[in-house]
């Protein structure tokens, strides 16, 4: 028998993420019995993920608003509002968001990637530690604990 999960907008965990943005954890492994994790990020222009690959999960993006450049291996794609991307595990990828504001939905199957975001990021309901920042080193360290390999810095727009 499955157990349903329901949460209202203000009940989602919020994690400080790229460029000071907020990443909402909509579903995690506890809520979905490990089947998937889903996140909603509201970003500003220039927010960028490093080139990385997931060993344990497939990753999907849906651009709810705005536009960004997504790299899949050596391929560069501009993806706008309503666009979607499916990335099987072990495929190197990255993105750089190019609109003033971008609303991005991220889905990972199975669950597990939420551990990376929680470890590298910062729960905004907790006091901000002095000097805290989401650094490449913090991301690389957290990634190594969650089956993600950081392969390089975010690509430039070109």
pLDDT, tens digit, 9 for 90 and up, residues 125-146 = 999 999 999 999 999 999 999 9
Instruction: Decide if 61 is inside a domain.
Output: yes
Instruction: Decide if 13 is inside a domain.
Output: no
pLDDT at 156: 85
Of the candidates 38, 17, 34, 27, which has an alpha carbon nearest to the alpha carbon of residue 97? 17
pLDDT at 158: 57
Instruction: Decide if 157 is inside a domain.
Output: no
Lookup result for tokens 């990753």: 59
Instruction: Decide if 104 is inside a domain.
Output: yes
| Domain count within the chain | 1
Do you know the residue count of the chain?
158
The domain of 111 spans: 21-152
Distance between CA atoms of residues 152 and 142, nearest Å: 15
Q: What is the pTM of this model?
A: 0.93
Profile the chain (158 residues) by mean pLDDT over runs of 10 residues. 83 94 96 97 95 98 98 96 98 97 98 97 94 93 97 85
Instruction: Decide if 10 is inside a domain.
Output: no
Instruction: Please report the DSSP string for 52-103 in residue order.
Output: EEESS-EEEEEEEESEEEEEETTEEEEEETT-EEEE-TT--EEEEE-SSEEE
Domain of 113: which CATH number? 2.60.120.10
- Cis before 110? omega within 30: yes
Tell me: the pLDDT tens digits for 44-59? 999 999 999 999 999 9
């Amino acid at each position: 028998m499955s157990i349903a999960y329901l949460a209202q907008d203000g009940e989602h965990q919020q994690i400080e993420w790229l460029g000071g943005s907020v990443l909402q954890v909509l579903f995690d492994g506890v809520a979905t019995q490990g089947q998937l994790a889903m996140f909603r990020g509201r970003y500003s222009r220039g927010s960028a993920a490093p080139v990385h690959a997931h060993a344990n999960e497939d990753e999907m993006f849906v651009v709810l608003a705005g536009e960004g450049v997504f790299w899949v291996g050596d391929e560069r794609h501009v993806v706008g509002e309503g666009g979607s991307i499916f990335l099987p595990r072990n495929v190197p990828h990255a993105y750089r968001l190019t609109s003033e504001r971008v609303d991005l939905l991220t889905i990972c199957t199975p669950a597990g990637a939420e551990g990376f975001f929680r470890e590298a990021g910062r729960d905004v309901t907790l006091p901000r530690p002095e000097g805290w920042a989401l650094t490449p080193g913090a991301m690389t360290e957290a990634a190594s604990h969650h089956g993600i390999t950081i392969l390089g810095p975010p690509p430039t727009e070109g």
